[in-house]
């Protein structure tokens, strides 16, 4: 996230006035909106909808020579019809649902960002601007979970198979990858060790959805290597001296010398998901053996890690032990864990004030810079946690806020400025996936 911000930092410098306080204009960062949304052209390539475009449903990017426009329009019309069939074939709220339109737009955008022309099948682009046109394992895992939960399990499997192909033999994931399926990375940033946990959680979601409805046959078999290697990685990174994972960058995307809740929580969710997948009984023995994992050891390891996470971070579950709140408090709650860790729901509610931003959303944490910017993924995490806790009124309030701050095309942006303006990339795959997971399907 930090690296994504770097390219967007052209806001006003912060200066102290005579009284030592920041002026209103200086305390609120200005970030441009990159595009209103994204569509695909007749070849299947992504095309950004320019800011201040009409944003109506009939916007078509006609890019070919005049004599071929009729064919281009025909192809686009056929694709639009196919998209409607795909949307209708899933599980989404009815048309009269208060968040039904947002859910449909989110699913449409998620499909648009998954496997466009020039990328590998199942490659989920984080967004449609150059600095976002890569595959983050975290974002892709959320996309897979959302696709599975909305009845698109075949698409979810394709996303997870793509992640399986990118994963290192030791179970590690790089921070992000080029979307061409080669496994190459665009820069030298450090691996982010929350990737294996997210991949295991998303795989478990797919397996559960496939067990109760139409879906791909035996996803545990097809994803056996992803499951076993990810579990091995999480076990390998446990420090014997503390019983906790070693420090790593997390979704803040910056080097870390101390263990963050984001890494500890995703290790816990990953081990608990892996233990549940052992109970599923269909992960090939050869996959466990190849990764050097005793599947019978996963449930005890998960139980031990749960105790240690509670001892280290409870009862407030801050970013660092003894520190200040972080949006990762939502990671130690359902749907990421079957049972919340003690005190986590109360900690989430207490943390909201420290994370609040002027427009009504939240920042990634209490120590995030006070620039007035709300982040939609962290706001959507609040909606999802509230929904899972049975706090439907709260969940709907967060979703109402997200709905009000979509772009002209209905896309969910990454950021919302202090005055309520959508900003940065739109749509953001992570937020689209979270909204789909949080919307109640009545």
Mean pLDDT, range 312-340, rounded to an integer: 98
Q: How many CB atoms lie within 10 A of CB 34?
A: 25
Quote the pLDDT of residue 180.
97
Mapped onto helix, strand or coil, the DSSP state of residue 374 is strand
Taken as a whole, the chain contains a residue count of: 442
Judged on CB neighbours under 10 Å (0-12, 13-18, 19+), 441 is: middle
Q: What's the pLDDT tens digit per position in 89-103?
A: 778 898 899 999 999
Cα end-to-end distance, the chain, whole Å: 33
The CA distance from 169 to 189, in Å, is: 19
pTM check: above 0.85? yes
Q: Domain ranges in the chain? A: 32-54+71-438
Band the pLDDT of 41: cuts 50, 70, 90.
confident
Answer yes or no: is pLDDT of 5 > 70: no
pLDDT value at residue 62: 56
Nearest to 209 by CA among 161, 150, 164, 266: 150
Beta bridge mates, 48:
38
Please state, in angstroms and rounded to a whole number, the distance separating the CA atoms of residues 157 and 223. Answer: 8
pLDDT at 18: 36
Per-residue model confidence (pLDDT) at position 56: 45
Residue with tokens 């998954």: 114
What's the whole-number average pLDDT of the chain? 89
Q: What is the pLDDT of residue 67?
A: 59
pLDDT of residue 53: 53
Average pLDDT over residues 160-176: 98
- As a whole number, mean pLDDT of residues 370-382 equals 97
Nearest to 128 by CA among 413, 421, 419: 413
Please give the pLDDT value at position 440: 84
* Ramachandran angles phi, psi of 177, nearest 5°: -135, 155
pLDDT at 373: 97
Q: What is the pLDDT of residues 204-217, one digit of tens each?
A: 999 999 987 666 77
Structure confidence at residue 19 (pLDDT): 37
DSSP secondary structure letter of residue 342: T
Tokens of 368: 């995030």
Tokens encoding 21: 């306080």
Report DSSP letters for 19-73, one per residue.
TSPBPTTTTS----B--SEEEE-TTS-EEEEPTT----TT-----S-GGGHHHHH
Higher-scoring residue by pLDDT: 120, 80: 120
Backbone angles phi, psi at 298, to 5 degrees: -70, -45
Q: Give the model's confidence band at 43: pLDDT under 50 very low, under 70 low, under 90 confident, else very high.
A: confident
pLDDT of residue 130: 95
What the block records as the tokens of 273 is 């998901």
8 Å CB contact between 172 and 181: no
Q: Which pLDDT value is given to residue 148?
A: 96
- Range in 34-38, 62-66, 181-185, 267-271 the model is least confident about: 62-66
Q: Is 394 exposed, middle or buried (0-12, 13-18, 19+ CB in 10 A)?
A: middle
Which pLDDT tens digit goes with each residue over 382-391? 999 999 999 9
Q: What percent of the chain has pLDDT over 70?
A: 85
For residues 248 and 243, give the distance between their C-alpha atoms in angstroms, rounded to a whole number: 15
- What would the two tokens of residue 322 be? 């003894």
Three-state DSSP class for residue 136: coil
Q: What percent of the chain has pLDDT above 90?
A: 77
pLDDT(17) > 50: no
Average pLDDT of span 57-84: 56
Using the predicted structure, report yes or no on whether residue 129 has a pLDDT greater than 80.
yes
Across 232-260, b (16+ Cβ under 10 Å) vs e yields bbbbbbbeeeeebbebbbbbbbeebeebb
Q: Are 109 and 38 in contact (CB under 8 A)?
A: yes
| Element spanning 271, H or E | helix 261-280
Task: Note the pLDDT of residue 90.
Answer: 79
Mind listing the pLDDT tens digit for each residue in 231-284? Answer: 999 999 999 999 999 999 999 999 999 999 999 999 999 999 999 999 989 999
Given a contact cutoff of 8 angstroms between Cβ atoms, the answer to whether 75 and 42 are in contact is yes
**pLDDT, average across residues 316-322:** 98
For residue 22 the two structure tokens come to: 């920041």
| CATH number attached to the domain at 32-54+71-438 | 1.50.10.10
Rg from Cα positions in the chain: 21
């Amino acid at each position: 996230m930090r690296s994504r911000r770097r390219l967007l930092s052209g806001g006003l410098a912060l200066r102290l006035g005579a009284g030592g306080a920041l002026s209103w204009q200086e305390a609120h960062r200005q970030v441009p909106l990159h595009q209103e949304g994204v569509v695909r052209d007749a070849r299947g390539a992504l095309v950004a909808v320019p800011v201040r475009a009409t944003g109506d449903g009939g916007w078509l990017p006609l890019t070919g020579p005049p004599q071929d426009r009729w064919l281009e329009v025909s192809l686009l019309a056929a694709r639009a019809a196919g998209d409607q069939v795909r949307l209708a074939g899933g599980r989404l709220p009815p048309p009269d649902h208060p968040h039904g339109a947002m859910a449909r737009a989110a699913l449409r955008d998620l499909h648009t960002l998954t496997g466009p022309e020039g990328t590998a099948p199942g490659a989920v682009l984080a967004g449609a601007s150059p600095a976002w046109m890569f595959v983050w394992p975290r974002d892709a895992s959320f996309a897979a979970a959302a696709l599975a939960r909305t009845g698109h399990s075949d698409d979810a499997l394709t996303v997870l198979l793509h992640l399986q192909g990118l994963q290192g033999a030791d179970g590690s994931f790089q921070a992000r990858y080029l979307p061409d399926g080669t496994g190459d990375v665009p820069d030298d940033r450090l691996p982010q060790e929350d990737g294996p946990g997210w991949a295991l959680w998303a795989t478990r979601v797919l397996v559960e959805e496939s067990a109760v409805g139409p879906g791909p046959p035996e996803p545990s078999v097809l994803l056996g290597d992803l499951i076993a290697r990810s579990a091995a990685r999480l076990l390998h990174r446990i420090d014997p001296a503390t019983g906790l994972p070693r420090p790593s960058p997390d979704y803040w995307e910056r080097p870390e010398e101390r263990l963050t809740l984001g890494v500890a929580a995703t290790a816990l969710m990953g081990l608990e998901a892996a233990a549940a997948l052992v109970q599923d009984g269909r992960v090939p023995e050869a996959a466990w053996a190849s990764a050097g994992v005793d599947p019978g050891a996963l449930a005890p390891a998960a139980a031990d890690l749960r105790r240690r996470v509670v001892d280290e971070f409870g009862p407030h579950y801050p970013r660092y032990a003894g520190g200040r709140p972080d949006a990762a408090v939502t990671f130690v709650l359902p749907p990421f864990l079957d049972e919340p860790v003690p005190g986590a729901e109360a900690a989430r509610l207490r943390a909201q004030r420290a994370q609040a931003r002027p427009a009504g959303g939240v920042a990634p944490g209490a120590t995030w810079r006070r620039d007035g910017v709300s982040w939609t993924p962290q706001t959507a995490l609040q909606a999802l946690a509230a929904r899972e806790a049975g706090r439907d009124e709260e969940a709907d309030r967060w979703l109402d806020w997200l709905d009000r701050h979509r772009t002209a095309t209905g896309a969910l942006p990454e950021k919302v400025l202090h005055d309520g303006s959508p900003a940065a990339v739109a749509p953001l795959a992570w937020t689209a996936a979270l909204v789909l997971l949080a919307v109640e399907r009545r």
